[in-house]
Amino acid sequence: DQQVKQNSPSLSVQEGRISILNCDYTNSMFDYFLWYKKYPAEGPTFLISISSIKDKNEDGRFTVFLNKSAKHLSLHIVPSQPGDSAVYFCAASALRGSGNTGKLIFGQGTTLQVKP
Amino acid sequence: ETGVTQSPTHLIKTRGQQVTLRCSSQSGHNTVSWYQQALGQGPQFIFQYYREEENGRGNFPPRFSGLQFPNYSSELNVNALELDDSALYLCASIPREAGPLGGDTQYFGPGTRLTVL
- Strand, coil or helix: what is A113? strand
Confidence class of residue A82 from pLDDT cuts 50, 70 and 90?
Answer: very high
**A88 within 8 A of A46, measured Cβ to Cβ:** no
Of B94, B101, B105, the CB nearest to A95: B101
- Nearest-angstrom CA–CA distance, B31 and B93: 6
The C-alpha atoms of residue B7 and residue A10 are separated, in whole angstroms, by 30
Bond prior to B62 in cis (omega within 30° of 0): no
Least confidently predicted of A87-91, B84-88, B99-103: B99-103
Mutation choice for B interface testing from A8, A33, A87, A104 by most B CBs within 10 A: A104
Nearest partner of B102 among A66, A104, A30, judged by Cα: A104
Please, which residues have CB within 8 angstroms of residue A14's CB and are 6 or more apart in sequence? Answer: A80, A114, A115
Nearest CA in chain B to A41: B110
Chain B's closest residue to A4, CA to CA, is: B42
Read off the amino acid at residue B2: T
| Per-residue pLDDT reduced to its tens digit, A12-71 | 999 999 999 999 999 998 888 999 999 988 899 989 989 888 999 999 999 999 999 999
